[in-house]
Structure 1
Amino acid sequence: MKQSDLTARFVQRPQNYAWFLGAGASRNSGLPTATDILLDLKRRYYRQEENQDISPQDIQNEAVQTRIQSFMDSRGFPARWSENEYTTYFEKIFGENTERQRQYISAILSEDKVALSVGNRVLGALMSEKLCRAVFTTNFDTVVEKAIAEMSGRSLSAYHLEGAHNAKNALDNEEYPFYCKLHGDFRYDSIKNFSSDLEKQNDALSACLVNAGNRFGFIVVGYSGRDKSVMELFHQVLETQNPFPHGLYWTGIKGTSINPAVTVFLEKARNKDIDAQYVEIETFDSFMLRLWRNIDGKPPQLDTKVRKARLSEVNIELTPSGQQGPVLRLNAFPILSTPQKCLSLTFKSPKDWGELREAT
């Protein structure tokens, strides 16, 4: 399905759709994705076991990643991209110490690191205007809360593992916008990262997602489908009487592979006569801005907030001189000298390039 087709359906009545956000929806706000966190956990474990100084910048180098992955493979860790890779590394690094885990997550998802992208602001604006009524996420961060605050000046309390019993009542009473963090909030003790945690979702929050799946169509953004228990929730929706009444649209970045679990799920949904489509997008930001541009009647003041650009300082650590390749490589060559003379040829009749080549 093309983005333009999804856009046309969405703008007819945005309130018909709930959203499901993965880590990819927060990446442009300066926060790491699940893959980024995995690389960091591997870096920490390798540094600890091999007594090697590997910086966060080093781990972005593919050669370093390959070396560390080979070490992990030799230690019997899960293969790269395997289903239990994420949880295994959390268990190896933190054991059963949930407080150390929470401190680690809190540090890498610190609110000080959040710089809202245009996609985040669009979602905040949609929720502020109640054009988006329900959002579910596996993320721990506070990006959505900050987006709501910046767009509307109001606060938004997410439903998560602490106080999950209140979530169902809120959804039943249509207390919109409704925001649910399935895996918890890093500011609280209860978060889900270990395999024992992720084997089963919280019953109350699970019931909310299934309930929402009977009221709304769903748009999934920035989520790979790697959590088996989350995918089981989506499958549960398919077994209800009115699954995804306004369709199910799973977005993914152009050129990336689709998780087989997602392909199976979409096919099963289509077999139940649900309009279930995979939609390729360039980025979360470009997709959200496309939707926003096509909505009529936007409050001008809110539109200005969404489209604003903000300068931010960056600090890129340079490599030491003479030890590694340059930070930037150009495809230009320097002109060291130029000819001082040139020859001119005159012909009695016009010549083309083929004739000139034959003459030489």
Structure 2
Amino acid sequence: MDYKKLREELSHKERTIDDLISYIGTRTNNSVPNYSLLLGAGASFSSGIRTGGNLVDVWRQEIYKKLSGKSDYDVKVAKEFLITNHSNWYSLSNEYSSLFEYKFDLPNQRRRFVEQEVDNKLPSIGYSYLVSLTKNRYFDTVYTTNFDDLLSEAFYQFSQTRPIVCAHDSSLNSISISSSRPKIIKLHGDYLFDDIKSTLRETESLESNTKEKLIEFSKEYGLIVIGYSGNDRSIMDVISHLLKTEEYLKNGIYWCIREDDHINPELTKLL
């Protein structure tokens, strides 16, 4: 679904940027945030890192031409070809993971590719602002699906604060919701390790500690989502679960969408 159609269907739920600023800034206790952040690949695009959508476009064309033997390319035709002839591995609902796994067989190959993608990239001005917002206690917890280190690098460049970075499920046990130190929770791992979660099987569900911590924090905080398309079930299933009861996300969930975004069916359903 495109942005215009989504706006027509959900106009009663649409909020402006000014609304969101007001919600973030209105706090009963100025040292306690009302929201956590969830950042996707779109947050790193201005730092020169290609988004999942960018990579899908490249991979789909390359793989389609290889498998079909044709030199011309049309997106719709390519998708139909892959669905019809390669449904044993191709997933239209999660193209990124299925194409990534087809193109790179092994975890260390996928890690090396990601490492090449993020190498020598610097945090954009947006990350500098985020560090400032964190310093002023508007946020203290950031979840990210990204493999890069741009956010933690921004803390080192633009502040004296050193965040807690959790890139492994086991490292989340010691994280306390009451800690005022900024927390960066990498939902899909870190590019320095082979166990990054990128394939269809790996993104089916979050690991236990990660899932439990996301649920625990959602009892106190609302959630603001930026640059994330909602293409993997691991996160979407947890968010859908949280929205079924008023015990969680009491301050709401706000999903930032750009006018040129394509909204996948799962996200449309959730909204």
TM-score between both structures, scaled by the size of structure 2: 0.81
Partner in structure 2 of residue 242 of structure 1: 247
Partner in structure 1 of residue 9 of structure 2: none
Indicate if the aligned counterparts of 1:42 and 1:68 stay in contact, CA closer than 8 A. no
Output one character per residue of 1:299-341: Cα deviation in whole Å (capped at 9) or x when no partner. Answer: xxxxxxxxxxxxxxxxxxxxxxxxxxxxxxxxxxxxxxxxxxx
Output one character per residue of 1:40-95: Cα deviation in whole Å (capped at 9) or x when no partner. Answer: 3335546766899x9xxxxxxxx756499377567536999821322221221222
Indicate if the aligned counterparts of 1:78 and 1:85 stay in contact, CA closer than 8 A. no
> What is the total number of aligned residue pairs between the two structures?
252
Indicate if the aligned counterparts of 2:148 and 2:191 stay in contact, CA closer than 8 A. yes
TM-aligned CA deviation for residue 261 of structure 1: 1.9
Partner in structure 1 of residue 152 of structure 2: 145
Assess, with a 3 A threshold, how the Cα gap between structure 1 residues 264 and 130 changes in structure 2: closer, same or farther: same
- Is 1:160 equivalent to 2:167 in the alignment? yes
For residues 235 and 114 of structure 2, the distance between their equivalents in structure 1, rounded to whole angstroms, comes to: 20
Indicate if the aligned counterparts of 2:222 and 2:251 stay in contact, CA closer than 8 A. yes
- Is 1:223 equivalent to 2:202 in the alignment? no
Output one character per residue of 1:153-173: Cα deviation in whole Å (capped at 9) or x when no partner. Answer: 444342123xx2231431345
For residues 247 and 225 of structure 2, the distance between their equivalents in structure 1, rounded to whole angstroms, comes to: 19
- Is 1:23 equivalent to 2:41 in the alignment? yes
Aligned AA for 1:219?
I
Equivalent position SS for 1:234? helix
Partner in structure 2 of residue 4 of structure 1: 18
Match of 2:176 among 143, 161, 171: 171
RMSD: 2.9
Partner in structure 2 of residue 341 of structure 1: none
Gap regions ≥5 residues in structure 1? 55-62, 267-360
Indicate if the aligned counterparts of 2:38 and 2:226 stay in contact, CA closer than 8 A. yes
Alignment of 1:1-360 (within 5 A): 1-13=15-27, 15-42=33-60, 44-45=62-63, 64=73, 66=75, 69=78, 72=82, 75-76=85-86, 82-95=92-105, 97-110=106-119, 112=120, 114-161=121-168, 164-239=169-244, 242-266=247-271
Output one character per residue of 1:226-271: Cα deviation in whole Å (capped at 9) or x when no partner. Answer: 11221111122234562112121111002534333223223xxxxx
For residues 76 and 93 of structure 2, the distance between their equivalents in structure 1, rounded to whole angstroms, comes to: 21
Identity in percent: 26
Assess, with a 3 A threshold, how the Cα gap between structure 1 residues 198 and 216 changes in structure 2: closer, same or farther: same
For residues 128 and 90 of structure 2, the distance between their equivalents in structure 1, rounded to whole angstroms, comes to: 34
Aligned AA for 2:20?
L
Bigger-Rg structure (1/2): 1
For residues 9 and 67 of structure 1, the distance between their equivalents in structure 2, rounded to whole angstroms, comes to: 41
TM-score between both structures, scaled by the size of structure 1: 0.62
For residues 73 and 196 of structure 1, the distance between their equivalents in structure 2, rounded to whole angstroms, comes to: 18
Equivalent position SS for 1:180? strand
Q: Say which structure, 1 or 2, has more relative contact order (CA 8 Å, 6+ apart).
A: 2
TM-aligned CA deviation for residue 176 of structure 1: 2.5
Indicate if the aligned counterparts of 2:61 and 2:78 stay in contact, CA closer than 8 A. no
TM-aligned CA deviation for residue 141 of structure 1: 0.9
Assess, with a 3 A threshold, how the Cα gap between structure 1 residues 42 and 255 changes in structure 2: closer, same or farther: closer
Equivalent position SS for 2:269? helix
Assess, with a 3 A threshold, how the Cα gap between structure 1 residues 106 and 199 changes in structure 2: closer, same or farther: same
For residues 156 and 171 of structure 1, the distance between their equivalents in structure 2, rounded to whole angstroms, comes to: 13
Indicate if the aligned counterparts of 1:46 and 1:68 stay in contact, CA closer than 8 A. no
Assess, with a 3 A threshold, how the Cα gap between structure 1 residues 32 and 66 changes in structure 2: closer, same or farther: same
Gap regions ≥5 residues in structure 2? 1-14
Assess, with a 3 A threshold, how the Cα gap between structure 1 residues 80 and 92 changes in structure 2: closer, same or farther: closer
